[in-house]
Structure 1
Amino acid sequence: MSNLLLTFSQVDLGRSNDPVLNNVDLKIFQSQHLAIVGAAGSGKTTLLNAIAGDIQPSKGYILRNFADIPANGNKTFTALVAATHHFRNLSNTTDLYYQQRYNSADSEDALTVEDHLQTIARSAPLDTYWTFERTIDLLNLRCLTQKHLIKLSNGEAKRLMLASALLNGPQLLLLDAPLNGLDADTRANFDQILTQIAATGITIVISTSSSEIPTIVSKVALLANNSITLYNSVDFNANRSITDPLPIQRTDLSGLLDKYPVDPYQHIVNMQNVNIKYGEKQVLSNINWEVRQGQRWALLGPNGAGKSTLLSLINGDNPQAYANDMILFDRKRGTGESIWDIKKRTGFISPELFQYFPGDSSCLHTIESGYYDTMGLFRPSDPKKVIQALAWMRLLGIEKYARHLLKNIPTSAQRLCLLARAMIKCPTLLILDEPTQGMDATQVAHFKGLIDTICRDTNITIVYVTHYQEHLPDSIDHILKLAEGKVIECH
């Protein structure tokens, strides 16, 4: 019996006028674990989707050796853990909306973690090693079993998606950037998790940063210039795919920031003993935090620490703000201001945000919607605003995606589109929730330089969330750190 699982032969992926990978020859063998690396937009997700069978080659063929794998009931051959979740509500008829997690009634219109996993487990093969109990223990989900899907943090959702894949008993497990959104401790444990998964006979293919290749990996596929170069992991140099960042055109940037300085405020944020609770779960406990205009804060803490909930309070998305002592932009919450009064002064990026735009949103319309603080452009496009949107796209190096759908472009380009959307109205407060997620090292360096330049040229206030200390721009000069909903560091 051959241990060859899959063969690519002279495969082209992508459209003829927009090629992604050309003439790919690749073989994946059982228990020969593969890491896929390369610059953002090089085709890592496309290759994983082709391996999974979700997209077909435009040339060549892909052979899956099903006959060489023992028949095992309804056992799944491949399972793909995508970079983003696609959870739906209980009726499975309506997509979840962004603010839903913060509204107590609507947030329960979704399965709990336990219900979600048990539904999958009931249809899983009977002889699979990865039972419900083993899976939740491996991925530290036991404490989350009664939590509704919409309330999961980005890192918690990642662990749940991996658990869902394991329950299906795959022979080949495909992981698309699984470390994105995970805190430092979880990332440190991830290598051990993969080792335990591999020990049960599952072959792993993972797209990842060239600096975060798991120890179980024996082969590395470097994607560059529409082609693949295969290396033994011991011979791979992590610096192969790093290039110098794009220069920041300060003249062009100054023209886009001509509305600064913005109106002066004494307090951008002032919280006094803020508490947020959902049922019996205390999410935030006695938070005291003062943000002055022009300050640049890092908001740090592990997955589930309460960072997203805190951001929802200052971004106007959480109705529990009205029951707390909070001032935003020198005005106490609940004194007649609307959510739109807050949002017009705030620019916001988060890893999940792009999922809530309509599927037919082009990148250009996504950026233009920043003028109106809507998830999509629901009015005729304004030619003057289009000119500004295109200028931001040129500055960020993503103008080629102007007419592309937001959902179809690389993750890194999505982040930059959302930065342009956030900045196009020259906000007083810029909230950056893991903004470099999905970017390669070159793009991270460019992004940090861009934020530092904006901070030098304006009085913008920033709150910046990241799980990578090295991703913080030099201009960040204050830290608020949370753990289990409490402030453990503030200076």
Structure 2
Amino acid sequence: MGNSISLKKATVAFDERFTLTEIDWSITPSQHWMITGSNGSGKSALAAVLAGMGEITTGQISGLPKNVGLVSFEAQAELIAQELKKDDADIMDVISVGTPVREMIFDQCADPELATQLVEKFGLSALLDRAFRKLSTGETRKVMLIRALSSKPDLLILDEPFDGLDVDALAMLQAHLETLISTVPMVLVLNRFDEMPDFITHVAYMDKTVIDKKGNEGKNDAGHLTLIIDRQDKTAFNELYQLLHLKTTDLNIPEIDAANKLPELDPSQPLVCLKNATIKYGDTIIVDKLNWTIEPNQHWQLSGPNGSGKTGVLSLITGDHPQCYTNDIFVFGFQRGNGESIWQIKQFIGYVSTSLQWEYRVSTSCRNVIVSGLYDSIGMYSKATDSQKKIADEWLELLGMKDRADSPFNKLSYGDQRLLLIARAMVKRPPLLILDEPCLGLDDMNRQLVLALIEKICAGSETTVLYVNHHAEDRISGIEHYLELVKKQ
């Protein structure tokens, strides 16, 4: 292992979005750290400093390694954004197919032999020639992990490495990290306290305050390293565990705006009916002859490994999949392909997913993000009514974000963005609420808030919940129907 890393009274700025203030922290080569804290507290920013990011305005930072292996949601989103830009190229006679997975992994790879082994272990061998942007969220994360692990890093920084991975991939990654304990210092950013690996020796807890240049309450978000805990200190460790497992109680879901009330559906008809639904690409069958009926007030959990077709099935329901018109699909009283518009379908659906978060790149206020759920739009293109603003503000208060109603959505942390998109999906009280990994990227407190909100929706009679997840401990009280997809060989 290399030298110690030291931060002394270091204040680090990240554009105008966020500042880490007066960080005192040292990492010795024999230590493995977990960084945790609430959403927006600067967990990812602190990890990014170790990778050489941010502008040091005061204090000192020394010992940063030259070769850092980094995996984060932000880095993953940046790669996706770079691939999406290829679609925007002003070349009318060229169709961009995107960068193949093989090139993403092996170009400039420091350890091709290890990369080849990890490709096999992660089950990506058959996907090497597929375009990177065509991968599922979990498959994309696996590519990022392989790139970092095979880079022969002096320091390995993994920001939420376990989110989005199926059970087998999660176990494989955890086992591989165990083999690196004696050779590579690791820093893991984890929102889920119960995901902390046994080899973690120390915990750094981040907190957030809002200050202005005079040190008073103001508009600039600032993160502080509040607690540093040695795992051997059992008393301090247990207190931090309790802090991160606080639950919000007595939650009340805001009412729907009367002017945006949805049309009534026939209660005798199923919400969704798929008959022998099949998804295939060329000769490769992803989903084979799936029969599935979702009745009103019937809550479902959809599960399955990465690449098993979960997102594809959801896209058949929402009408976003090109093969939805070649299948026998019945939704909300409409037979697919009989003249209905996609918006006639989408008005009855609330939807949250990682891909939606990547697409929601417009600069608009937090309040408008929630109101946009009433219009199924990305951004707002008309002025919100007083009633809509009031309901949006009630959601913001519920999420603990009342003071950020007018803050730009694209300046928020990943977790806070996810919370807002969940509120956006729920605001119209849709007959069907589709939550595709809704807790991805959320800390313990916000995850418990989200789970409690979903439980309240399940307990009511207005909305049927379709919940997609990998974490067994995140099962929702009130969900009694399960569908597990199996990945085709």
Q: TM-score, normalised by structure 1?
A: 0.84
Matching residue of 1:296: 299
Matching residue of 1:270: 273
Q: 2:97 aligns with which of 100, 104, 109?
A: 109
- Give ranges in structure 2 of 5+ residues lacking alignment: 89-93, 209-223
Alignment of 1:174-213 (within 5 A): 174-198=157-181, 201-208=183-190, 209-213=192-196
From the superposition, tell whether residues 244 and 132 of structure 1 become closer, same or farther in structure 2 (CA, over 3 Å).
closer
Matching residue of 2:219: none
1:12, 1:19 within 8 Å by CA — same for their partners in 2? Answer: no
Distance 1:395 1:158 in 2: 31
For the residue of structure 2 that corresponds to 1:287, the secondary structure is: strand
The residue type paired with residue 38 of structure 1 is G
Distance 1:179 1:233 in 2: 21
2:277, 2:289 within 8 Å by CA — same for their partners in 1? Answer: yes
Matching residue of 1:12: 11
For the residue of structure 2 that corresponds to 1:230, the secondary structure is: strand
- Cα distance, 1:279 vs structure 2: 1.6
From the superposition, tell whether residues 262 and 390 of structure 1 become closer, same or farther in structure 2 (CA, over 3 Å).
farther
Matching residue of 2:227: 229
Distance 2:372 2:82 in 1: 30
The residue type paired with residue 174 of structure 1 is I
The residue type paired with residue 114 of structure 1 is R
Question: Pairwise CA RMSD of aligned residues?
Answer: 3.0
After TM superposition, the structure 1 stretch with the greater mean CA deviation from structure 2, 407-416 or 280-289, is 407-416
The residue type paired with residue 10 of structure 1 is K
Residue 77, structure 1, aligned to residue 67, structure 2: yes
Distance 2:393 2:316 in 1: 31
Matching residue of 1:87: 79
From the superposition, tell whether residues 180 and 16 of structure 1 become closer, same or farther in structure 2 (CA, over 3 Å).
closer
Distance 1:14 1:157 in 2: 29
- Give ranges in structure 1 of 5+ residues lacking alignment: 67-75, 97-104, 487-491
Residue 367, structure 1, aligned to residue 370, structure 2: yes
How far does the alpha carbon of each residue in 1:156-215 deviate from its partner, in whole angstroms, 9 at most, with x for none? 11111111223433211211111111122322222212123445x332211112211223
Identical columns (%) = 31
Q: TM-score, normalised by structure 2?
A: 0.85
Distance 2:467 2:444 in 1: 18
Q: 2:445 aligns with which of 420, 438, 442?
A: 442
Distance 1:146 1:184 in 2: 25
Distance 1:241 1:185 in 2: 30
Distance 2:303 2:123 in 1: 21
Alignment of 1:90-489 (within 5 A): 93-94=85-86, 109-121=97-109, 124=110, 128=111, 131-198=114-181, 201-208=183-190, 209-224=192-207, 226-235=224-233, 236-237=237-238, 239-250=241-252, 253-254=254-255, 259=261, 262-265=264-267, 266-484=269-487
The residue type paired with residue 485 of structure 2 is L
Distance 1:3 1:190 in 2: 23
Matching residue of 2:58: 59
Distance 1:359 1:94 in 2: 19
Residue 36, structure 1, aligned to residue 35, structure 2: yes
After TM superposition, the structure 1 stretch with the greater mean CA deviation from structure 2, 171-180 or 217-226, is 217-226
After TM superposition, the structure 1 stretch with the greater mean CA deviation from structure 2, 467-476 or 37-46, is 37-46
Distance 1:206 1:406 in 2: 26
After TM superposition, the structure 1 stretch with the greater mean CA deviation from structure 2, 207-216 or 297-306, is 207-216
The residue type paired with residue 116 of structure 1 is M
Distance 1:475 1:154 in 2: 27
- Cα distance, 1:249 vs structure 2: 4.0
The residue type paired with residue 272 of structure 1 is K
- Cα distance, 1:138 vs structure 2: 5.0
- Cα distance, 1:88 vs structure 2: 4.6
Distance 2:162 2:339 in 1: 42
2:34, 2:202 within 8 Å by CA — same for their partners in 1? Answer: yes
- Cα distance, 1:359 vs structure 2: 4.5
1:6, 1:63 within 8 Å by CA — same for their partners in 2? Answer: yes
For the residue of structure 1 that corresponds to 2:40, the secondary structure is: coil
- Cα distance, 1:455 vs structure 2: 3.0
- Cα distance, 1:42 vs structure 2: 2.8
Distance 1:230 1:89 in 2: 35
How far does the alpha carbon of each residue in 1:14-60 deviate from its partner, in whole angstroms, 9 at most, with x for none? 68999765432111233422211223333211111122122124432
Matching residue of 1:70: none
